[in-house]
Amino acid sequence: MSLMFPTAPASPSPRLRIATCSLAGCFGCHMSLLDIDETLADLVDLITFDRSPFTDVKALSEDGIDIGLIEGGLCNEENVEVLRAFRARCRVLVAVGACAMYGGVPALRNGIPVAELMQTAYLADGLHDPQLPRDPELPPLLDKVLPVHEVVPVDLTLPGCPPPADAFRALVLAEIARRTPDIATELPLHARRFD
């Protein structure tokens, strides 16, 4: 699998520029990234975080992103829009966790028609003032929750729910060294568990 995505330029900064984003996910993958603990301090002069819940930066830098970490699948039209914009700016796009790779827990709804889901959630007997949400700012649901690779090309995957912190560490260290990480073999034995 190639690390290079030719339509997105690398950041000109000597620091590795990392952005993270959550679509239909639970932020557990983001928490696992934070679990690399003291390694973050070791990397402070080598990486910089761009758009991410960690920075509260909402827009991607014009400078280009080296690694974009995407958590979660796509459950609505806004997710698709956000993902496409993210992909266009990232040199390496990483699908992080079971939701981004397969749809994960949110995809459990895929066997049920959306109209039936809405009926159950908002119009079921016994609800007070049952009505469908109709605020125009609410993005329409997709028919099915999609994994990231069904909408844009993905360069790397970090499996797990969530992936272990050591997998994030191995990925970042390999990227700093400008080489393709082999997550399966670079992890210590205790971290080779992706459930």
Q: Which CB atom, from 64 or from 97, has the smaller least distance to ligand SF4?
A: 97
Q: Whole-number minimum distance, CB 18 to ligand SF4, in Å? A: 17
| Residues 6 or more apart whose Cβ sits within 8 Å of residue 126 | none
Cis peptide before 162 (omega within 30 of 0): yes
Residue 90 vs residues 58, 61, 155: alpha-carbon distances, Å: 15, 10, 10
Q: Which CB atom, from 108 or from 117, has the smaller least distance to ligand SF4?
A: 108
Q: Whole-number minimum distance, CB 23 to ligand SF4, in Å? A: 9
Q: Whole-number minimum distance, CB 20 to ligand SF4, in Å? A: 12
β pairing state of 141-146 and 74-76: antiparallel
- φ, ψ dihedrals at 159, nearest 5°: -75, 160
- Residue 53 CB: number of other CB atoms within 10 A? 14
Q: Whole-number minimum distance, CB 52 to ligand SF4, in Å? A: 15
Q: Which CB atom, from 64 or from 106, has the smaller least distance to ligand SF4?
A: 106
Q: Which CB atom, from 28 or from 64, has the smaller least distance to ligand SF4?
A: 28
Residues in the site for ligand SF4, rule: CB under 6 A? Answer: 25-26, 28-29, 71-72, 97-99, 104-105, 161-162
